[in-house]
Amino acid sequence: MNWSWVEPVIAILGLAVITVVSRSFFMIPEREMSMPSWLKRGLKYAPLAALTAVIAPEILMSQGQLINTFQDARLPAVLCATGYYFWRRGILGTIVVGMAVYLPLHIGWSW
């Protein structure tokens, strides 16, 4: 009899329990938990730090190595998208400008 399905099921159930417990941890107490002011200030920057940690390697690295040439379509796309964002402060426009620069360079010129 093949029991190879047991380990994945145990792993999935264990991850589900961990997820439910960790996400409901703040709803268990009857009153609101107080946080120190320094922690509240620090948590304001957590989303920006997480976003930077995800995006920066995608922009600056290729196959685990730093980009060593300027002929990479990501660099001009990031520069143009950043310029647009500081000019207009619009997220959708930033994405459109970045992709409008990236796609012709990447597909058309094989950068």
Domain for residue 39, yes or no? no
Query: What pLDDT, on the 0 to 100 scale, is given for residue 93?
Result: 95
- Percentage of the chain lying above the pLDDT 70 cut: 99
Domain for residue 89, yes or no? yes
Domain for residue 17, yes or no? yes
For residue 101, pLDDT over 90 is answered with yes
Q: The pTM is what?
A: 0.60
Domain for residue 37, yes or no? no
Distance CA 47, CA 56 (A): 14
Domain for residue 40, yes or no? no
Q: What is the mean pLDDT of the chain?
A: 90
Q: How many domains does the chain have?
A: 1
Encode pLDDT of 30-57 as tens digits. 777 788 999 999 889 999 899 899 999 9
Domain for residue 54, yes or no? yes
Domain for residue 69, yes or no? yes
Contact 77, 99 (CB under 8 A): yes
The parent domain of residue 26 ranges over: 6-31+45-108
